[in-house]
Amino acid sequence: MRMILLALLAGLAGTALAQDAPQDNPPELVGGSVRTSTAIAVPVMPGDVIGRQVAEVIASDLRSTGIFTPLGPSGLPSYAVEEAGNPAYPSWRNAGVAALVSGYIEQRPDGRITLACYLHDVTAGRELVHQGFAVTAADWRRAAHKCADLVYSRLSGQQPFLDTRIVYVAETGPKNNRQKRVALMDSDGSNHRYLTIGRNTVVTPRFSPRGDRLVYVSYIGRKPRVLLYEVASGQERLLIPGDHITFAPRFSPDGRDVVFSMAENGNTDIYVVSSSGGSPRRLTATPGADTSPSYSPDGRRIVFESDRSGTQQLYVMDADGSGQRRISFGGGRYASPDWSPTGNFIAFTKIAGPFRIGVMSPSGGGEKILTDGWQDEGPSWAPNGQFVMFHRTPQGAGSARLYAVPVDGGAARLMPTPVGGSDPSWSPLNN
């Protein structure tokens, strides 16, 4: 009897509990991933006459990322300094933008200026981030780049990359008498200047991890030689003294070493040497041409190209030269590898008819071709690992230009160099 009653009660209790059961699996809202650029207003910043120019630089920087459609500064209403942190969101919403970059410029007692930079989510009606940048008045462009980096970083989740410089080989003159000089500029093309005078042809300039030095190849007496260049002083010296043929240099991630190729007795191998001097140490010893070495960001591995199999292919080895193994098997030839700063990709030039820029994983999988030009080559990563810069020579054209392409897909964007150029290298983020 008791058993029967207990069973009845248990059944009733179970029914009641089922009704009030907690929500174990909450409903799921799935957002879209619309491949569209975000409309972002960049009005003139109040406080100083350079407010319009600052806004123009910010808008231009944001446009160059490919993920924003900046509006302004022309055609947008002005606002007071006090409104920078508290804008009239409904008005900006009516302007059809999703985000707003506001701010102001303030003179400091020490003669410098402060650029106060605010980013607002216009749709949600709230400030997302703000930061001030104090610079000398002459350096206002850098403050604008920093503001653009703040906006890009907050809205994309990526590391900043806009306050950077680019070194490349500037090419001028006719094809049969081309002058090639090392040139340096900000990532938006401003502050362009030549570092070499063009007496010798130069190729493959590369930044040091801190951006204070360069290595590049200069054809001295028709022999390629690696030079090490101090950006601040303009001083340069041979990396390897003597009469050796050296080329394809790159710094190690800590800047202490330079890895490069050296040709001896008809064989080209990869060596490493301290950037402060000393004797080079040989890393490869296989018959054939081993060249274009590039360190992984942790400094433990090196990717390079070699024709030891009969055609140019990519290989990875440990930083001491051990454990060499081929990673490219996709057909065609592979050249000029560059390990991404994030470590998850290796960019390369693929030669299979046309020259194309591609990326693959360090193990060789997931190959993806990023460009579709006739002759695209010489990839170099942006410091945040989201873009690859390269030089493109159109079919029938005599000179190359620099382009940057997003690694997750999209169109390549022409870089604003004043002259034709090749062999770009992206600097680390400026301090």
Partner 1 sequence: MRLDRAEWTGTGAALLFHVALIGALSLSLAHVVSVPEPPAMDVEFVEDVGLTSAAPQTIATPPPPSQAPEIGEAEPVEPLPVIQPQPSIVPTPAKPRPVQTKPAPRASRIGADFLKGIENDELAPRSGPAKPSAPTFSATARASIGQAILRQVQPCADRQPFIGEGASQVRLTVNLKLARNGRLIRPPVVLGTAGDPDDRAKYGELLEDQVRRIFADCSPLRLPADLYDTPTGGWNDFTFTYRVN
Q: Which residues of this protein are in contact with partner 1, per CB under 8 A?
A: 1, 4-5, 8, 11-12, 15, 18-21, 23, 26-38, 67, 89-90, 93-94, 98, 121, 123-126, 128, 155-158, 408
The conformational region for residue 24 under phi > 0 = left, psi -120 to 50 = alpha, else beta, is alpha
d(CA 270, CA 291): 6
Backbone angles phi, psi at 59, to 5 degrees: -60, -40
User: 215-224 — which CB contacts under 8 Å span 24+ positions?
Assistant: 215/239, 215/249, 215/250, 215/251, 215/258, 215/260, 216/182, 216/249, 217/246, 217/247, 217/248, 217/249
Beta carbon nearer to partner 1, 74 or 123: 123
Minimum CB–partner distance for residue 412 and partner 1 (Å): 19
Which whole-number Å values give the CA distances from 129 to 89, 100, 118, 126, 153, in the listed order?
15, 11, 6, 9, 10
Give the three-state DSSP class for 337.
strand
Count the Cβ atoms, other than its own, within 10 Å of residue 175.
Answer: 9
Nearest to 156 by CA among 268, 64, 56, 247: 64
Beta carbon nearer to partner 1, 86 or 191: 86
Is the link from the previous residue into 73 a cis peptide, with omega within 30 of 0?
yes
Beta carbon nearer to partner 1, 94 or 363: 94
Beta carbon nearer to partner 1, 32 or 234: 32
Minimum CB–partner distance for residue 219 and partner 1 (Å): 42
Pairing verdict, β 179-186 and 193-194: antiparallel
| Residues 6+ positions from 275 with CB-CB distance below 8 Å | 208, 213, 228, 239, 251, 255, 256, 257, 258
Beta carbon nearer to partner 1, 170 or 359: 359
d(CA 188, CA 167): 12
Minimum CB–partner distance for residue 340 and partner 1 (Å): 14
Beta carbon nearer to partner 1, 89 or 194: 89
Minimum CB–partner distance for residue 64 and partner 1 (Å): 17
Minimum CB–partner distance for residue 20 and partner 1 (Å): 6
Beta carbon nearer to partner 1, 53 or 153: 153
Minimum CB–partner distance for residue 3 and partner 1 (Å): 11
Buried b (16+ CB within 10 A) or exposed e, 205-218: bbbbbebbbbbbbb
Minimum CB–partner distance for residue 23 and partner 1 (Å): 6
Minimum CB–partner distance for residue 120 and partner 1 (Å): 9
Beta carbon nearer to partner 1, 1 or 197: 1
Minimum CB–partner distance for residue 25 and partner 1 (Å): 9
Beta carbon nearer to partner 1, 35 or 222: 35
Sign of CA dihedral 101, 50, 232, 246: positive
